[in-house]
Amino acid sequence: MSDHAHHSHNPLIGGVDPQFAKATPGKIGMWIFLVTDAMSFSGFLIAYAVLRSKLDWPHPADYLGITLSGIATFLLICSSVSMVLSIDACKARDRKAMLNWLLITIIGGAIFLGIQAYEYTHLVHQGITLSKFAHGPSLFGSTFYLITGFHGLHVATGVGYLICEYINARKGHYDNGEYNRLEILGLFWHFVDLVWILVFTFIYLL
């Protein structure tokens, strides 16, 4: 293939990405959704902080699995990195790498959900439920399950979203190097990752 033909099929011509910083309707819609969603998480965390300051709150490290949740946090951060690498592979039209990184992202999210389900089961056996906490105010369990469960719902949604785009990628929808839809997916997944870092810090560490 001649150099001219190669460049005509390369999305990065002269080092300029024609899709870079393009505010597509999909991206604008996702940003609007994320801003409103961030308000929901902010409300939950502010309410948690107020309740904790007013009640005789137990120390989270005494009852929650800090180490296991730390591993889950690390996996979620890694899955955010693999999402970036998948988009980069799409830009380079490296179909195999794009699919592999997408699959790794899916696996990371799925393992996170598995760890969360295991933790919930363990806490219920300890007497920590949505309406009961055997060692202090019942709101400890209520706020924990509400906030982490709300985030878990986002992770589950994100995993489903990832699986749909993985299927589309296998069908060849991204073989032309058009990565806008993957970037929109990436925005959601990075948001889920960032919010969990805040949730982990507020609920588990402080």
Residues 4-31 pLDDT 10s: 444 444 444 444 455 555 678 888 888 9
pLDDT recorded at residue 132: 82
For the whole model, what pTM was predicted? 0.82
Q: What percentage of residues in the chain have a pLDDT greater than 90?
A: 51
Tell me the average pLDDT across 97-124: 94
The per-residue pLDDT for 19 is 53
Query: Side chain identity at 94, as an amino acid letter?
Result: D
DSSP secondary structure of the chain = --HHHHHHT-SSBTTB-TTTT---HHHHHHHHHHHHHHHHHHHHHHHHHHHHHHS-PPPGGGTS-HHHHHHHHHHHHHHHHHHHHHHHHHHTT-HHHHHHHHHHHHHHHHHHHHHHHHHHHHHHHTTB-SS-BTTS-THHHHHHHHHHHHHHHHHHHHHHHHHHHHHHHHTTTTTTS--HHHHHHHHHHHHHHHHHHHHIIIIII-
Residues 171-203: tens digit of each pLDDT: 888 777 678 888 999 999 999 999 999 999 988
Q: Are 135 and 58 in contact (CB under 8 A)?
A: yes
How far apart are the C-alpha atoms of 11 and 177, rounded to whole Å? 7
Which residue from 183, 137, 175, 177 is spatially nearest to 25, judged by alpha carbons? 183
pLDDT score for 10: 47
Distances (CA, A) of 170 to 80, 86, 96: 20, 13, 9
Rounded Cα distance between 93 and 143, Å, is 45
For residues 20 and 73, which has the higher predicted lDDT (pLDDT)?
Answer: 73
DSSP string, 104-148: HHHHHHHHHHHHHHHHHHHHHHTTB-SS-BTTS-THHHHHHHHHH
Higher pLDDT, 75 or 130: 75
Query: Distance between CA atoms of 4 and 13, rounded to whole angstroms?
Result: 11
Question: For residues 204 and 19, which has the higher predicted lDDT (pLDDT)?
Answer: 204
The gap from C-alpha 64 to its chain's centroid, in whole angstroms, comes to 21
Distance CA 86, CA 84 (A): 5
Which of the four pLDDT bands, split at 50, 70 and 90, describes residue 65? confident
Please give the residue that has the higher pLDDT: either 32 or 20. Answer: 32
Average pLDDT of the segment spanning 83-103: 91
Q: What are phi and psi of 192, to 5 degrees?
A: -60, -40
Domains of the chain listed by start with CATH number: 22-50+66-205 (1.20.120.80)
